[in-house]
Amino acid sequence: MAHIDLGVDEKEFPGITGPMRYRPETAQHLNGLAETLLRGPHSLPAGERELIAAYVSGLNECTFCCSSHSAFAAVQLDAGMPLVEQVRADLDGAPISAKLRALLRIAGAVQQTGRAVTPELIAAARAEGATDLELHDTVLIAAAFCMFNRYVDGLGTFAPQAQEDYLPMAERIVQQGYGV
């Protein structure tokens, strides 16, 4: 049970969806940020941006955000959930592009502290073809998901344990977006 009464059935509105219903005036802006970062026009495919969100959420041990964004990434990546799980378990051994690996390293550094993003990490990503927009948005996605993760876990929201429980949300996000 959430730390506060969100006024919703937590099984019907798990994770961040409950607090979003509780405070629609803040949800509008948070959803807008997620829509822009994860689904808006970009050189990185939406599945890769969702993978960044899932990766950071996993590092933060946020069950709901990690599970939901893993599902969102999986339905948009050709290799699906096996790839998402490989990236989360072994970034260095996962079959992804060198550019995405470099961006995920930056995201992992942001998850620790923004000051952990070094000139060397940036140079390594640029050497693999990362653009300034990709660098900027990787840092912002990672920072935003640290906030989203703390929002979800700080309120003690319910998170389904079965990965298949996240698939309907994934299909809705791919079809309709983040509700802006």
- pLDDT for res 10: 95
The pair of three-digit structure tokens given for residue 44, joined into one six-digit string? 């990185």
Q: What is the mean pLDDT of residues 74-80?
A: 97
Report yes or no: 172 and 69 within 8 Å, Cβ to Cβ: no
Render pLDDT for 21-64 as a digit per residue (tens, 0 to 9): 999 999 999 999 999 999 999 999 999 999 999 999 999 999 99
Which two structure tokens, joined as six digits, stand for 157? 């929201």
Q: Which residues contact 169 (CB under 8 A, 6 or more apart)?
A: 68, 71, 72
Helices (H), the chain: 17-22, 24-39, 46-59, 63-74, 80-89, 98-112, 119-127, 132-154, 167-176
The rounded mean pLDDT for the chain is: 97
Statement: residue 117 has pLDDT above 70 = yes
Assess whether pLDDT exceeds 90 at residue 180. no
Full DSSP string of 42-83: -SS-HHHHHHHHHHHHHHTT-HHHHHHHHHHHHTTSTTHHHH
* Distance, CA of 108 to CA of 39 (rounded, Å): 21
- How much of the chain exceeds pLDDT 90, in percent? 98
Residue 1 confidence (pLDDT): 75
Question: What pTM value is reported for the model?
Answer: 0.96
